[in-house]
Amino acid sequence: MLVIVAPGQGAQTPGFLTPWLADPTFAARFEWLSTVAGLDLVHYGTEADAATIQDTSIAQPLLVATGLVAALELFPHPADAFERIAAVAGHSVGELTAAAGARAITAEQAMVLVRERGKAMAAAAAATPTGMTAVLGGDREDVLATLARHGLVAANDNGPGQVVAAGTREQLDALQADPPTKARLMPLSVAGAFHTEHMAPAVGHLAGLARSVSVHDPRTRVISNRDGQVVHSGADLLARIVGQIASPVRWDLCLETMADLGVTGILEMPPAGTLTGIAKRFFAGAGVETFALKTPDQLDEARAFVERHGEVGSRSGLDTSPTWRMVVSPSKGTFHRSEAAADAHVLAPGTTIGDVASLRDRIAVTAAHGGQVVEWLVEDGDPVAPGQPLLRLHPAGAA
Q: Which residues are catalytic?
A: 92, 195
163: Cβ contacts below 8 Å, ≥ 6 apart: 134, 135, 140, 143, 144, 147, 154, 156, 157
Closest by CA to 98, choosing from 244, 198, 278, is: 244
Contact 223/147 with Cβ under 8 angstroms? no
Report the distance separating Cα 146 and Cα 125, nearest Å. 24
Report the distance separating Cα 311 and Cα 1, nearest Å. 6
Closest by CA to 43, choosing from 72, 69, 68, 21, is: 21
Contacts 24+ apart (CB under 8 A), 176-180: 176/133, 178/146, 178/149, 178/150, 179/135, 179/146, 180/135, 180/138, 180/139, 180/142, 180/143, 180/145, 180/146
